[in-house]
Amino acid sequence: MNAPELWKRYQASLCRVPALDVSLDVSRMGFDDDAIARMRPAFDRAFAAMDELEKGAVANPDENRMVGHYWLRSPELSPTPEIAAEIAETLDAVAAFAAKVHSGEVKPQRKPRFTRVLSIGIGGSALGPMFVADALGSPKADRLHAHFIDNTDPDGIARELERIGPALDETLVVVMSKSGGTPETRNGMLVVAEAYRKAGLDFAKHATAVTGEGSKLDQTVAKEGWLARFPMWDWVGGRTSETSAVGLVPGLLQGLDMKGLLDGAAAMDRATRVHDVAKNPAALLALSWYLATDGRGAKDMVVLPYKDRLLLFSRYLQQLVMESLGKRLDLEGNRVDQGISVYGNKGSTDQHAYVQQLRDGVDNFFVTFLRVLEDGGDGREVEPGVTPGDYLHGFLLGTREALFANDRRSVTITVDRVDAQTVGALIALFERAVGLYATLVNVNAYHQPGVEAGKKAAASVLEIQDKARAALTAQPRTADQVAEAVGAADSAETVYLVLEHLAANGRARMSRGANPGLTTFQAV
């Protein structure tokens, strides 16, 4: 295709959302002219399913739940007045609490004001807030400096506490867990609470929670008298929770424009309800994914934002896309092994990383470019008439062209700037695209059986660890012998691995043999 033909195709295929200054270019995805017409019956079903979801239908049949993240930014669309009232009341309550924190009316035990906020969560309770904090935050403008603990890695927790340092006594902690029993979040909370105790501080006087009503965490909040508690509803999944209290609490405490984010999401929701694929950017994205991957995840999605503020967007999208679409079974119980793998970093860093393979290596991907028109910074020229932003934009267009010249497909999303409204719009755009694509491939986008299976497997490992550690004596034993002693003969490998870990942390003794089968373990 020559340049004039490409220009015509670009103009014909560009989908714009004027209210948001957002556009989607699919001209380089290799659509044939009748692709949209051919897929129209499938999209009619997807649009209908989405309409029913927004009206309150049970869209997550495995858990018999409604799926209501779209109501969070448009409460008037909620299926009941009670839900609409809860959403509005929660937003007001979070905003009022943040205002009291900023004014010093709600203050820490010893200091006149909170200056930092530490969010403890995992998965959707961390990736969304972290992305938004980084995208919209400013060291000079933030009301509270943001910190995050998003794992059960003790070294990672210790490092974040070191970053906080002596400011622990002016740090407000937000613990986020729907059930209150999520191990990673619980462990982070316990370690942080102990740090407060060691500093002579009452953790409850520095803590808030976002959790389900009646959860273990909710009970702890009530018993210990924490500063506040905000709801996490069962009709909002973790990976679609950024416009709920999960995102609102840390965002408003940081001082971010979360109302603008909600407004941007609501505006994109309106634009993506249109039952016309060519005029609906989420539908065009879903169509792009379907055609690029043959509707079965045959290619990976590479996310390349050419803006440092959007660095964490690819991590956010990894969970949103992969946890939603990565399913072994379809809605009828047939094995389909669906999913789309997502990875990415940022431009132009990737000019010096994996773009070489993207252009010249295995053709197992399609790219999603994120193009931001406004440079930011001070506009300084590094050459006559050329700014660093010009270079960045040039690298984006050059990479897009180089990939296309080698028959590599790409989508380009263009926004004017990275602000709260834009970030909300991007979140809503991909949420809707995931939902539509899931209907096209007939999977449940709103459950996560693989994640639950991993949690159960981890629990069984810890049970074996407890038994193996209790079985250690002064007499050296191999992993096979310990496994036999605890009735886990079929799990000798797991026994070896957990004992090796215990030994590395001073909780067992190990004498390495010529191979793992000859290595012995003893009690400390």
Tell which CATH architecture fits domain 450-522.
Answer: Orthogonal Bundle (1.10)
Catalytic residue among 102, 216, 299, 455: 455
Instruction: Please confirm, yes or no, whether 69 is among the known catalytic residues.
Output: no
Provide the edge-to-edge strand list for the sheet that holds 300-305. 15-17, 22-25, 410-415, 365-372, 300-305, 342-344
Please write the tens of the pLDDT for every residue from 183-212.
999 999 999 999 999 999 999 999 999 999
Average of per-residue pLDDT across 458-466: 91
Given a contact cutoff of 8 angstroms between Cβ atoms, the answer to whether 196 and 168 are in contact is yes
pLDDT at site 456: 81
Question: 408 by DSSP, 3-state: which?
Answer: coil
pLDDT value, residue 180: 84
Q: Is 352 a catalytic residue?
A: yes
Q: Is 501 a catalytic residue?
A: no
**From 160, 242, 323, 431, the catalytic residue:** 323
Round to whole Å and give the CA distance between 415 and 422.
7
Q: What is the tens place of the pLDDT at every residue in 138-159?
A: 999 999 999 999 999 999 999 9
- Spatial CA neighbour of 408 closest among 352, 366, 346, 353: 366
Alpha helices in 81-230, H assignment, sequence order:
81-103, 124-136, 154-164, 183-198, 216-224
CATH 3.40.50.10490-classified regions of the chain: 3-60+262-443, 69-256
The pLDDT tens digits of the residues spanning 416-429 come to: 999 999 999 999 99
- Residue 452: pLDDT over 80: no
Give per-residue pLDDT as tens, 6-16.
999 999 999 99
pLDDT tens-digit readout, 323-350: 999 999 999 999 999 999 999 989 998 7
Are 439 and 46 a contacting pair, CB within 8 Å?
A: yes
Mean pLDDT of 350-357: 85
Which helix (DSSP H) or strand (DSSP E) does residue 506 occupy?
none
- The pLDDT tens digits of the residues spanning 385-397 come to 999 999 999 999 9
3-60+262-443 adopts what CATH topology?
Rossmann fold (3.40.50)
Position 350 scores a pLDDT of: 79
Options 82, 198, 352, 383, the catalytic residue: 352
Rounded to the nearest 5°, which phi and psi values hold at 26?
Answer: -110, 20
Looking at domain 69-256, its CATH superfamily turns out to be: Glucose-6-phosphate isomerase like protein; domain 1 (3.40.50.10490)
| pTM for the whole structure | 0.94
Region 479-507 average pLDDT: 95
Contact (CB, 8 A) for 273 and 279: no
Its sign, for the CA torsion 497, 498, 499, 501, is positive
pLDDT, position 445:
96
Residue ranges, CATH 1.10.10, the chain: 450-522
Reported as a single tens digit per residue, the pLDDT across 84-135 is: 999 999 999 999 999 999 999 999 999 999 999 999 999 999 999 999 999 9
pLDDT above 90 covers a percentage of the chain that reads 93
Task: Please give the residue that has the higher pLDDT: either 354 or 162.
Answer: 162
Give me the pLDDT at residue 441, please.
98
pLDDT (0 to 100) of residue 449: 86
Give the pLDDT confidence score for residue 302 in this predicted structure: 96
Q: What is the pLDDT of residues 251-284, one digit of tens each?
A: 999 999 999 999 999 999 999 999 999 999 999 9
Tell me: pLDDT of 518 over 90. yes
Is the four-CA dihedral 198, 199, 200, 205 of positive or negative sign? Answer: negative
Predicted confidence at residue 2, as pLDDT, reads: 84
Q: What is the mean pLDDT of the chain?
A: 96
When pLDDT is cut at 50, 70 and 90, the band that residue 455 belongs to is confident
